[in-house]
Amino acid sequence: MGLYGKNILCTIILFLLLSSKCLFAQNTEPAYNYTLGTNLFYGFIYMHSPEIGHLITSHPKGFELYINKHTYGHKSWESLFNYPDIGFSLGYYDYGNPVLGKTFSGISYFDFYLNKTRPSPHNFKIRIGAGLGYNTHPYDASTNNKNNVLSTSFTFAMQTRLTYEFTSRNNWKFSVAPNITHYSNGAVRKPNKGINLVLIQFGVGKHIGRKDISYQHIPSGVQSETDKSFRYNIAVYTGLKANKVGGGAFPFFTLNNYIDKRLNGKSAINGGIDFFYSLALKEAIENDDTFANENAPDFKRIGLTLGHELFISRISILVQLGYYIYRPYKAVDPVYQRYGLKFYTNNNKLFFALNLKTHGAVAEMAEFGIGTRL
């Protein structure tokens, strides 16, 4: 498998274990219902770069098996988010191209309902999901050197979709949805253009469980009881990053500091400072011919960030926009973004984090770390 694949595999397996514990763990008293079903896919690969045009030769297709857990407000966050579904899917995608092969996926997700009337036979839902993909034909310099989108067997997977779902009187569910699924290894190995699937899906499922469960409304005063004081967050992130095809991967370390303030039971705004120490960037500077006859610039960087955090049970979604105030190596873009998932422990202070740091549409590195919210 190699160091790169093991790094991604261990990171995402930990993500799946943590998300499953946070999403599916429940007390013995509250009752939940479930839906079991399958979806069929058909679509195309989005050509986000001319360099992948040679791979777009057919229409990918596939299917998935899924389980959804329906929430009813037994916990305050369920009512706060309009009683979302919590699910897990196992998927199979055939690209119809021997260079790309096939991908198997395991994805944990939330389905958020857009309509307020519940229950209803007609529902509109938007999905946020992430997990793991396994590709059967990654890049290989000798045997598969045309695959410039995925260079590792194990990849990160991200998914979103907008679903219309109809529930019949006998609790069968029929759905249709546009679906966008992304696979990438987070730049731990090159090439890594990533692959974006734009799909249409048709699904059928069966609602199972008790009929006497009623929706519980959020207790009055929950919003006002939210602690809105300022909190200090500090986290240490690390991982591996490769600079070029056939080159090695180098470790990096990031110290992420920020102050946040809760606005309500759902969200908080934040602002802070990042310190970056990347041996991959150091290697890139050492191999930059621009500095052959002069002193090379410092590879360390400092950035200021502003962001937002959305709290869903013990999971949160972190989005930050950053700007380097110390960036001696000017080949690096001055603006960066961080998209992350945080998994809080029972005391809501210690958290694990899985992030993707990007410069625009270009992924710089996948960050995995641990931190605390004081």
Contact of 13 with 354, CB cutoff 8 Å: no
> Which has more pLDDT, 10 or 360?
360
Tens-digit pLDDT profile for residues 176-231: 999 999 998 877 788 878 899 999 999 999 999 887 788 888 765 555 567 788 99
**Spacing of C-alpha 308 from chain mean position:** 16
pLDDT averaged over every residue in the chain? 86
| pLDDT for position 325 | 97
Q: Who's near 66: CB < 8 A, 6+ residues apart?
A: 35, 36, 37, 38, 39, 87, 88, 89, 90, 205
Indicate the pLDDT class of residue 252, thresholds 50, 70 and 90: very high
Tens of pLDDT, residue by residue over 99-135, are 999 999 999 999 999 998 888 899 999 999 988 999 9
- Say how far apart CA 340 and CA 357 lie, in whole Å: 8
Buried b (16+ CB within 10 A) or exposed e, 311-332: bbbbbbbbebebebeebebeeb
Q: Quick check: 249 and 188 in contact, CB under 8 A? A: yes
Residues 256, 272: contact at Cβ < 8 Å? yes
Q: Measured between alpha carbons, how far is 220 from 113 in angstroms, rounded to an integer?
A: 22
Contact 57, 97 (CB under 8 A): yes
At 370, the pLDDT band (50, 70, 90 cuts) reads very high
**pLDDT surpassing 50 at residue 6:** no
Under the banding of pLDDT at 50, 70 and 90, the label for residue 63 is very high
pLDDT attached to residue 24: 56
Say whether pLDDT at 288 is over 90.
no
**Is 129 in contact with 159 (CB distance < 8 Å)?**
yes
Give yes or no for residue 5 having a pLDDT over 60. Answer: no
Residue 2's pLDDT is what? 46
Q: Of 194, 107, 201, whose CA–CA distance to 158 is shortest?
A: 107
Q: What is the pLDDT of residue 363?
A: 77
Which of 26-40, 48-62, 88-102 is modeled with the greatest confidence? 88-102
Contact 244, 260 (CB under 8 A): no
Angle at 291 between CA 288 and CA 296, to 5 degrees: 100
pLDDT over threshold 70, residue 18: no
With a cut of 50, say whether residue 149 has pLDDT above it. Answer: yes
- The pLDDT score that the predictor gives to residue 3 is 44
Is the model more confident about 348 or about 373?
373
Which two tokens mark 295? 């002193």
Residue 39: band (very low, low, confident or very high) from pLDDT cuts 50, 70, 90: very high
Q: How far apart are CA 180 and CA 161, in angstroms?
A: 6
Place of tokens 């609602």: 207
Structure confidence at residue 323 (pLDDT): 98
User: How many whole angstroms separate alpha carbon 131 and alpha carbon 146?
Assistant: 26
What's the rounded Cα separation, in Å, for the pair 145 and 47?
19
Q: What's the pLDDT score for residue 324?
A: 97
Both structure tokens of 22? 């946070």
Range with the lowest mean pLDDT among 25-34, 55-64, 235-244, 295-304?
25-34
CA-closest candidate to residue 62, choices 148, 188, 209, 181: 181
| Ordered structural domains, the chain, with CATH | 2-208 (2.40.160.20), 226-373 (2.40.160.20)
Which pLDDT score is estimated for 372?
94
pLDDT at 21 over 70: no
pLDDT over threshold 80, residue 50: yes
Q: Is the pLDDT of residue 319 over 50?
A: yes
The pairing of strands 85-94 and 61-70 is antiparallel
Residues listed for the chain: 374
Look at residues 24, 11, 180 and name the one whose alpha carbon lies nearest to residue 108: 24
- Of 69-78, 119-128, 187-196, 363-372, least confident by mean pLDDT is 187-196
pLDDT score for 201: 95
- Quick one: average pLDDT of 1-19? 49
Distance separating alpha carbons of residues 314 and 61, to the nearest angstrom: 35
Other Cβ atoms closer than 10 A to 56 = 15
- Does residue 44 register a pLDDT over 80? yes
Give the pLDDT mean for 315-340.
93
- Answer whether 237's CB lies under 8 Å from 367's CB: yes
The region of weakest confidence among 6-10, 127-131, 187-191, 247-251 is 6-10
- Give the containing element (helix H, strand E) for 360: none
